[in-house]
Copies of this chain bind each other. A is one copy, B any other.
């Protein structure tokens, strides 16, 4: 694949900030101070899994406080949410990262991003022993990064030997019963968790996973339950950048977390993860280059989450059209077509797209309810919908109830099975008479069903239901004299087919012109060796194989009887050999009628194209 210009922009940013050498590496533990302070890497990974990286994006460093956000996610998964909240609050402390900030009476830490809160959080990870807890943390972090992570034992030993303040905090937490059991064991989990080695690319992928509703966009593996995403990102938004958090949300506008190892990860929900690694820190404990790069990236690429895009009708409803402009692929006789031309507006299709959520579902609701005369048949096509959240599901239930109560037919099609949407709908709708119809395999079948209903409602009487249609009733024989009909009749052969019998096959010579005298046939094409698609349905008083009039080619589809059918045919080549006046007149009329019929189809197709192009 070609490299996109965004790489170049990132390279420029990198070069611009390379000379920024303010700040100092963390030295509160000796091992951290040994890091090469010139290192500098930037990585961006989108929710589609596109990776951009420059500089030292593959160097490992210790994750430090960045781990706090991800361990908080594990704690929320492993416990009842209110229990977690009873142990750690979610308010910014307004103080430095190593502040103790406990609630006066309860001893509850202000939030999970300060050390006190993070130690409490680590204790909430599932596991009988410290080893089990840290194994679980490393395992889950590995789902975010798509690779197995290791601990930097030098850092860990250094933290363990010098972490007096954290030791004090954990004993204080034990005193308040925020921690239970041995505080040293939890502290050991916390020190190990902070010593996990990651790269800048790892962090960007961890961010992209949060941006992608908890699913790693490269491996497709879920790292965090969807329902915990707003909780984790919420705490990152209010407390992730120590006492620079207010400025961060104002200037950068992405939930983020930094660590004294020099890393920062920022998340633009639904879009991307951004990570910077540069060990020199400001006096608040944030990477100096990290902050500069994130501010520049947010500004340059308009990534502030509060500078949001609108949910509009045009992105929710791809298009909407009625059953007079787009028809099922069923070939019907002229009188049926007249009825559908006239009353097809009573069928209305809405092609939906994108993510369905509150406002988009509400837009659909409004669009439909805005009809002064509601159509009798309403089809919602979900084929281009990428997700439907709970609120939208509820609204679609409401819509279905509202419309079915008004006596309307509601049809939902094209819901991917993975949504579990059909079941959710049925669960929410306690009264099954309000279920939308959801069993049609595609739009064509749904349209066909609606058309049949319209024809029935408008008292359309088919030419024949029991006795075979006579040749003079076939549109292709329009205006033929009795003699001409008799002549043609003499050239006809006739056969009766049972249900599901093959009449002709793809690849055979197309040398016959067929008439459906009774019954119904379908035209099927092979999509691949396993799948077929129904192209057309041909009803009584219609013909097929007209191409044989225009020269012999190979058939491009299978024709199969849908029910017991009487089919007659003649071979044009034989007819055309006869140059008598009567044959010539028959030929002229066949061609004329074929041209008229094709012309009408072309007009219908052009109408459909105009509807589809809207």
**Contacts from A to B (Cβ < 8 Å):** 1-2, 4-6, 8, 46-48, 50, 89-95, 111, 211-213, 226, 229-231, 233-235, 237-239, 243-247, 249-251, 253, 255, 268-272, 300-315, 318, 353-355, 357-359, 362-363, 365-366, 369-370, 384, 386-387, 389-392, 394-395, 398-399, 401-402, 546-547, 549-551, 581, 584-585, 587-588, 591-592, 594-596, 598-599, 601-602, 605-606, 608-609, 612-613
CA distance A399 to B8 in the complex (A): 12
For residue A318, which residue of chain B has the nearest CB? B318
User: What are 22 A-B pairs at a CB distance below 8 A?
Assistant: A5-B401, A46-B362, A48-B366, A226-B307, A234-B306, A237-B238, A238-B250, A270-B310, A270-B311, A318-B318, A353-B353, A354-B354, A549-B592, A549-B595, A550-B595, A584-B584, A591-B592, A591-B595, A594-B595, A601-B602, A609-B612, A612-B612
CA distance A401 to B6 in the complex (A): 13
Contact B366 A50 (CB under 8 A): yes
- Max chain B Cβ within 10 angstroms of own Cβ: one of A47, A93, A387: A47
The residue that A235 contacts in the complex, of B4, B250, B301, B359, with Cβ under 8 A, is B250
Contact B599 A550 (CB under 8 A): yes
The residue that A91 contacts in the complex, of B245, B310, B549, B594, with Cβ under 8 A, is B245
- Max chain B Cβ within 10 angstroms of own Cβ: one of A95, A272, A301: A301
Contact A354 B315 (CB under 8 A): yes
Contact B358 A303 (CB under 8 A): yes
Contact B605 A391 (CB under 8 A): no
The residue that A246 contacts in the complex, of B90, B255, B602, with Cβ under 8 A, is B90
Closest CB pairs A-B (n = 4): A94-B94, A269-B308, A309-B355, A591-B591
The residue that A243 contacts in the complex, of B91, B245, B370, with Cβ under 8 A, is B91
For residue A591, which residue of chain B has the nearest CB? B591
Contact A47 B311 (CB under 8 A): yes
Further 15 A-B residue pairs, CB within 8 A, beyond A234-B249, A238-B246: A4-B365, A48-B363, A94-B95, A234-B306, A269-B307, A270-B310, A302-B358, A302-B389, A309-B355, A315-B315, A315-B354, A584-B585, A588-B588, A602-B602, A608-B609
For residue A590, which residue of chain B has the nearest CB? B591
For residue A351, which residue of chain B has the nearest CB? B613
Contact B253 A230 (CB under 8 A): yes
Contact A47 B253 (CB under 8 A): no
